[in-house]
Amino acid sequence: MTNDLEKKTTPALPRFRPNTDVLEREDGFHIFVDMPGVGKDGLFIDLRENELEVRGRAVYPREENAKALHVEFGDGEYVRTFTISDGVDREGIRATLKKGLLELFLPKAARLKPRRIEIQAG
């Protein structure tokens, strides 16, 4: 006799660590994460204290009337965690997903942004 709970659980997807680029610019940090096959509904970004976790699920549709002879596009889950310094304005973090490329923008806190010192003439 099988347990009904066992029937409803989905098998764990293979996990991948996505390729990532991190750039520091004057306005803040830009993180680019390669997540092919991930849509907005399958993307989760969580910030807990000083850790930013990115998770994305890529599930490819299956054709009902086709027999798969060779498959290299497989379902999978992307997971990547970043440690965030105190120099990041956490309230200003933004995320954009376009064609499988996630861009995270982490603005620098005001106290870390470069500023020009005005010279007083006397």
11-64: per-residue pLDDT in tens? 688 899 999 999 999 889 999 999 999 999 999 999 999 999 999 999 888 888
Phi (first) and psi of residue 8, to 5 degrees:
-85, -15
pLDDT of residue 113: 64
Please report which confidence band the pLDDT of residue 121 belongs to, taking 50, 70 and 90 as the band edges.
Answer: confident
3-20: per-residue pLDDT in tens? 544 444 556 888 999 999
pTM across the whole model: 0.77
DSSP 22: E
3-class SS at 118? coil
Helices (H), 1-122: 4-8
CA angle 113/34/84 to nearest 5° reads 35
Distance of CA 16 to the CA centre of its chain: 12
